[in-house]
Amino acid sequence: MLWKCGTFSFELKMPLIMGVLNVTPDSFSDGGLHNEYEAAVAYGRQMIAEGAHMVDVGGESTRPGSDPVTEEEELARVIDVVRTLASEGICVSIDTRHASVAKACVEAGAAIINDISGFRDPAMVQVAASCDCGLVVMHMRGDEPATMQNDTNYTDVVAEVRDYLRDQAAMLEAAGIDHDRICVDFGPGFGKTAEQSRDLTRNIQEFVRLGYPVMAALSRKSYIGKYYGIDVAADRDIASAAEHLLACEQGAHVIRVHNVPVHVEVLRDLRPYALIALGCNVALVAEPGEEREAKIAQLNMAIGDMCLFPDTTIIDVSSFYESEPAYYEDQDVFVNAVVLMRTGLPPKELLDYLHVVENKLGRVRTIANGPRTCDLDILDYQTYVVNTEVLTLPHPRINERDFVVKPLLELLPGHVLADGTPVGTVPEEERIGRSFRIE
């Protein structure tokens, strides 16, 4: 996946760090520290030197209940800072909900427009369509920060925020904006309670499934203060880093942070992802007419066993798909799925653990591509490419198999394998093992 931001094009194999630069006197944790031109420019340079990939410049506090400033005042605070940092080759984001400010800053060199109001203003959409900047589409309740906490009633906060972001991104694409320019942000703390913000950060995989880069802007947020017992916002950096690490393990592509060095260090602990294909067409125990349910139950048993692997976390599981047999066709239909995990197990050791699960569920290897009670294959392992008699990664037959492509792309739309091969390059009608999602 790429995020195209003007002249910058970011590969998202590893998370990006966006440093926060508030050129304001009243931001919730650092207001007044960098609201003079010289201090702001110096701090922007410092964050890049410390490991940030981009700097997010804001001239209006967006804390709950904050007072709005005029667009003229906001622009006066940020324009020279944006222009100077951009002229030095730094990827600059302008954090604004005002089209006039965004337009002026893009003309001054900004490569990203970060709109907390989610591009609800048609004038902001026009600015976005007139340039090639990256866009951050955020969810916020209410018309402005001063009123966003007035309505925090949701039936299902994760589903409602996800669907809003999906629809806003689709609206931008309909306006002629390239898919690869769009990033989504679920907006923790913006029209959400602490509990709702926590629920969103524990379900980031739902936003990853939208197929856009996902930003996690958790730094020093009030929900962290509540759940970690830290009252002072500026003291929440270590806890923020822990939350951002969890967010990245779930698939967040960009983290927006106040303390860059702490986050650079914690991301060293990010475990690689692995994608595992599951298949079954022999039910060990099944009543007549219930064979499919029995196959699903066996795959769920395998998933349960994978949850017990050391230093491993299951991040997401696809739907189950009923699939026609491939290669060896004289056999019963399969049930297939794909699991996304984060693991500290090296690939060969992970394969050994998968074989243990297969054997536990009665896997017999007598016919090549023949009937099986449980089949577990490593499809892709982050940044790892190998071709040996024991293990080939990425799996060489992914794109020819419909029963792999469909569930994999359900989890990770637009996924590119570790060797640079996009998933889904073979047309559906040319794939083998035709698959149908089980509702």
Longest CA–CA span in the chain (Å) reads 76
* Catalytic status, residue 256: yes
Burial 67-90 (b: 16+ CB within 10 A, else e): eebebeebbebbbebbbbbbeeeb
The token duo for 126 is 């026009």
Cα angle 242, 208, 55; round to 5: 60
Please report, for residues 120, 223, 231, 244, the alpha-carbon distance to residue 240 in angstroms, rounded to integers and kept in the order given. 29, 10, 13, 6
Listed in sequence order, the residues at least 6 apart from 208 whose beta carbon sits closer than 8 Å to its beta carbon are 214, 250, 251, 252, 316, 411, 412
Which tokens is 47 given?
């964050």
Angle 362-365-366 (CA atoms, 0-180°, nearest 5)?
A: 120
Catalytic residue among 77, 97, 141, 221: 221
Catalytic option among 103, 162, 236, 256: 256
Element (H, E) at 273: strand 273-280
Here the tokens at position 58 are: 């804001």
Phi/psi of residue 315, nearest 5 degrees: -95, -40
Q: How far is CA 171 from the centre of its chain?
A: 20
Classified as helix, coil or strand, 243 is helix
Distances (CA, A) of 199 to 162, 166, 204: 12, 18, 9
CA distance 65 to 217: 19
Look at residue 19 and give its three-state secondary structure.
Answer: strand
In contact, 363 and 373? CB cutoff 8 Å: yes
Task: Tell me which residues are annotated as active site.
Answer: 221, 256
